[in-house]
Chain A
Amino acid sequence: EEGFALQSQSISPYTGDLFHETPLALRGLRIAHYFPFGVTGFFMFVDILTLVYLYKISVAFVKHLLDKQEREKKNYSPKAEALILTLDHLNWLPLTIAGVHALNPFSIMTTLAASTAALTNLTVLMAFYYMVLGNRLLCTLFLAVASYQTLYPLVFIVPMALHFYKLSSPSAPASYVSKESVSSYFETISLFAAFLGLLVGFSFLAEGSWDFLFSTYGFILSVPDLTPNIGVFWYFFTEMFEHFRTLFVCVFQLNAVVYTLPLAIKFSERPFFLLYVLIFLTSIFKSYPSYGDTALYISLLPLWGHIFSYMRNTLVVGGMYVCSMVLAPILYHLWIFAGSANANFYFAITLVYSTAQIFLLTDVLFAYLRREYDLYHGTEHFNPDGSKARIRLD
């Protein structure tokens, strides 16, 4: 709204520091005013679109899971029969996903708040969908739109590059650094860069100057605004010594993206899970996280419902989530409006929330890897003397 008002006075919205949407979004979102129920109607429409795409993703993903399983069945251990996925297991998955998204408190809150995170989520989901379908062009297009909006989806190009390379040469389990692989990566990345460049170029033409770069990307990267949010870094940057600010900003941004490389190496055969883990990681460690990002990864979680039995900390994590969701608004209200609490209270709850997210992520990772191990080595493990053996990370 602020951007629209400033535009109508022909003041560039980027001369101030209040407006951080991209230029094309500024122009594109005007249509929200013309929707049947106004802006609320527009965001309800976006939510319904998200629901539809989630449903389509789950249908396609089920097919993909079964195909992949067929291809790799020969490597599985014979004792792992209980773990084989069948169609009747996965039949209810699309409906579950739709239900989870519809009832997900985070996604309900995002729609109610008319947050533009809903739009970014939608574009990421569309990129995911086209990745499942194997359509490289549309996938990179939507990923470019998502990265154009917020910078962090940039790292999702890695699983996409891996996946499209796999698709182009399905049979050979080639190394990921051979010539064909590099050329395939290059194709994917250059498509993505072309779309992104196109979008940035259009923004420049629309705005007439490069000012918007600082207000949008520079803002995300250099974290100048310290409004309290659900992440853990606003307080960190508030209480930091000026001398070390550049160091910590660099470390913190690096932290958000550094997990890509080791995870890519570990999960090079499983690009979808890699994509999901990266979505999860960026939503925890991005500079201005919000409930909208949480809504995205929680809605996508049932896609891997088959690993839930291997998760260890569900009670603790669930409890932490519920607890922090209930307490966070209360403590924020106490600090800001009632004046009877301190910033520390709210900060503590954001710490709990981030820890809950991290626990959930590591639990999901662990469960996935453990299930893989069981697939290849059978479900029962015994020592040579007949007693049950321990499986541990080493």
Chain B
Amino acid sequence: MAAPMLRCLLFFLGMFFFGTNASDEFSEELFIKPLQKGYVYSHFQFTTKWNASIHHQETFQHYHLFPKALGEVLLHYDVQELHLSQTQGLWHHRQWGYPIHDAPPGAELWVWFKPSVKDIDKTWTDLANAVSGLFCSSLNFLDSKNTVTPRWSFRPQGLAHQGYAYRSYFMRYGTLPREIVCTENLTPWRKLLPCDSNAGLSTLFNAFHFHDANYHSLGLHVRPICADSACMEEAIELSQSLSVVTDVVSTSNTGAPHWSLKSLFGNHLVSACPIASKSVIMVQTANSQEPLPYRLTPEPTSVEEVIRGDQKHSFAVYQVPSFTHSGRVLNVAGTYNDVSGLQEDGTPPPIHAHRYITGYGLSDGGISCLIHSSLPVNQSIIYLDILPWFTRVYFSSLEVSNNGHKVPFKVHYVPAKDRSRPHHLELSFMLWPHSTTRVSFTFTRAFLKWTEYPPDANHGFYISSAVITALLPSSFGYTSPPQESSQLSSIFSENSTSYLIRIHTESLLVSLPTPDFSMPYNVICLACTVLAIAFGSMHNLTTRRFIKEEAKAKRGLLTKVKSFFTRQKDATLSEQADAAESADQNDIKEKSKEKLEASNDKPKEGDQS
């Protein structure tokens, strides 16, 4: 009796162990949300959940669905959480609400390292180089000049021990606003997917359509999460996301806002990824109370309604395998019955911001950020701003005001060090209900050495976006999944009451005074000439004395000729003086005498220096 039971037990243990070792789960989702004015927001979400702990070394020895290239990087550089986003275009919060993952224009990389790291700055630089190699982008430009350690923003999004995040010691944040995203970045990113572009939603990827879009963002997020709701075990979650906002009205032939998978991505969906445990397309059909004025074809598999906080969101869900088995294709399309409602702006989300540069000229300027709040209660936010060292911020000019009244704020400020550290400003303050708060400060522009300018010096330098972090009580315009999982389907089972948003503002362009780049040799020559004038004169005056010059015995030919003529003139003039006797002749005499003295003195005065 004991032996078969023991065998059973061993068998189950073996199954469990073996199962746990190889249990990766991959799900692919496509989220489509039509926005106002003919824009359509599409978001591809590929989530790999690997039931293993990120802290164990032996986790990274066997890979199944989790990409090996990325796993090696995570292992080697002791990474606990990695968040990378590469974006082209600006997300307009006011018109479009909140995206699922907010990303600034350019590239952004922030990493939480494991506590076992010895030298964080060096590891950060090495990691940036490795990631830039993995994704063919120039993240290797992330060095101490544009990296900061935010104090309150960017807390760990995954599992973390208590006290780990206290001072943000293990975290680095860097951003490159000038970075451009192109097919070169899309290809290695797509290669990390288990199905690549052979099957599933990734067959919809079309570089032409993506790069035509108004907003286009690649995201990669790795974090440790709970394996299940009991949270007894850890898992690693890799979330890859691709967000696109397409302007359907402008890119369609007819100018009609009807959209479909074919018009958005150029392709029908022909298959689902066989390795995926879940493959769905979700279309958000109702944002607030009123239904949207379009009709979906084909009919969705199910319609889910979720109440998040005080807002009702409803989604039309298509289970892709059921539409694409046995050779059929799926083309989800939305056709509008009534396009008039589209032209309105729509209600802006609870918090949105606008940042801009003030001032004129190339010597100084200011930055102002207007944060609009339409919440009925006070909302506390954290504002993070990173400025390069060459825009020298005056901390004494920082002010936060709301309609002329000063808003009290808590500040964490690290001033810049020339050429080694950027300005790091973090503020925490309250937004008053239904009002606009303005954060403003002034800066002065530095003058760089001529080798520090980029090739197009007059284009200017980019200042990265400011980041506003808040925990909203309302989910109006909110689309992100809850904390425990990046899968969008987890929205359906959510029951949280506060929603974390992170808003990135515009990135700014600032011009610096430029020297003339063609002039190094000339400048050195001229400056040294001035120095030489000083040196030569001082040398003369200090090493020589005044002496009375000896009368020259020998004189040059020209001087001889000249003195010959003056002697002749002397002779004639003195004759005239002798001959004359009258008053005017006296005058002539005096005049001639003066002339005589003058002519005598002239060569002498000319020489006397």
Residues of A within 8 A of B (CB): 1-2, 4-6, 9, 11, 15-18, 224-228, 232-242, 255, 259, 262-263, 265-266, 284-285, 335-337, 339, 342-344, 347, 351, 354-355, 358-359, 361-362, 365-366, 369-370, 373, 377, 381, 383-385, 387-394
Contact: B530 with A355, CB < 8 Å?
yes
Q: How far is the CA of A375 from the CA of B357 in the complex (A)?
A: 66
Cβ of B5 within 8 Å of any chain A Cβ, yes or no, is no
> Which residues of chain B are within 8 angstroms of A381 by Cβ–Cβ distance?
548
Task: Mark each residue of chain B from 161 to 190: 1 if its CB lies under 8 Å from any CB of chain A, else 0.
Answer: 000000000000000000000000000000
Minimal beta-carbon separation of B413 from chain A (angstroms): 6
User: Would you list 29 pairs from A and B whose C-beta atoms are within 8 A, ordered by A residue?
Assistant: A1-B394, A2-B396, A4-B396, A5-B394, A18-B392, A226-B447, A226-B448, A233-B527, A235-B523, A236-B527, A238-B447, A239-B450, A240-B520, A240-B524, A262-B538, A262-B542, A263-B538, A263-B542, A335-B362, A336-B513, A337-B360, A347-B523, A351-B526, A355-B530, A358-B533, A369-B546, A390-B608, A391-B548, A394-B544
Q: CB of B290 within 8 A of chain A?
A: no
* Residue ID in chain A nearest B605 by CB atoms: A388
A51 to chain B, nearest CB (A): 30
> Which residues from chain A contact B523 at a C-beta distance below 8 Å?
235-236, 238-239, 347
Contact in complex: B451, A383 (CB < 8 Å): no
Q: Are A366 and B541 in contact (CB under 8 A)?
A: yes
CA distance A365 to B515 in the complex (A): 36
In contact, A2 and B395 (Cβ under 8 angstroms): yes
**Which of B6-14, B415-423, B587-595 lies at the interface?**
B415-423
1/0 contact trace for B122-138 toward A, CB 8 Å? 00000000000000000
Q: A238-B450, A262-B538, A390-B549 are in contact. Are A336 and B362 (CB under 8 A)?
A: yes
Q: Give bound CA distance, A393 to B411, whole Å.
A: 67
Partner of B395, one of A6, A241, A351, A377: A6
| List of A residues within 8 angstroms of B519 by Cβ | 239, 344
- B608–A388 CB distance below 8 A: yes
Q: How far is the CB of B253 from chain A (nearest CB, A)?
A: 44
The CA-CA distance from A340 to B62 in the complex, in Å, is 64
Residue on A with the closest CB to B547? A394
Give the size range of B's interface with the partner.
35 or more
A363 to chain B, nearest CB (A): 9
Q: Are B542 and A241 in contact (CB under 8 A)?
A: no
- Closest approach, in angstroms, between the C-beta of A161 and any C-beta of chain B? 19
Residues in B508-527 with C-beta less than 8 Å from chain A: 513-516, 519-520, 523-524, 526-527
A390 adjacent to B544 (CB under 8 Å): no
Check B604 for interface membership: any CB of A closer than 8 A.
yes
A92 to B397, CA, bound (A): 48
Distance in angstroms from B447 CB to nearest chain A CB is 5
Which A residues are in CB contact (< 8 Å) with B601? 388
Chain A residues lying within 8 Å of B416, measured Cβ to Cβ, are: 16-18
B392 to A: closest C-beta gap in Å: 5
- Indicate with 1 or 0, residue by residue over B1-21, a CB within 8 angstroms of chain A CB atoms: 000000000000000000000
Contact of B415 among A4, A6, A369 (CB under 8 A): A6
| Residue contact A265 to B542, C-beta cutoff 8 Å | yes
CB neighbours of B394 from chain A (8 A): 1-2, 5, 18
Question: B538 — nearest CB in chain A belongs to which residue?
Answer: A259
B394 to chain A, nearest CB (A): 6
* B interface residues with partner A (beta carbon < 8 Å): 360-363, 389, 392-396, 411, 413-419, 423, 446-451, 513-516, 519-520, 523-524, 526-527, 530-531, 533-535, 537-549, 551, 600-601, 604, 607-609
- Given contacts A226-B448, A388-B608, whether A351 and B549 have CB atoms under 8 Å apart is no
Q: Tell me which residues across on chain B come within 8 A of A337, comparing CB atoms.
A: 360-363
| A72 nearest CB across to chain B (Å) | 17
Which residues of B are found within 8 Å of A383, using beta-carbon distances? 548, 551
Q: Which residues of A contact B537 (CB under 8 A)?
A: 358, 361-362, 365
Which residues of chain A have C-beta atoms less than 8 A from B450's C-beta? Answer: 238-239
Determine whether the beta carbon of B546 is less than 8 Å from that of A238: no
B341 nearest CB across to chain A (Å): 46
For B420, give the chain A residue with the smallest CB separation. A17
Return chain A residues, CB-CB under 8 Å to B540: 393
With a cutoff of 8 Å between Cβ atoms, the chain A residues found around residue B538 in the complex are 259, 262-263, 362, 365
CB atoms of A227 and B520 under 8 A apart: no
Beyond A337-B363, A358-B534, whether A392 also contacts B609 by CB under 8 A is: yes
A5 closest partner in B (C-beta): B396
Q: Which residues of B contact A342 (CB under 8 A)?
A: 516
Q: A226-B446, A390-B549, A392-B546 are known contacts. Are A11 and B415 too (CB-CB below 8 A)?
A: yes
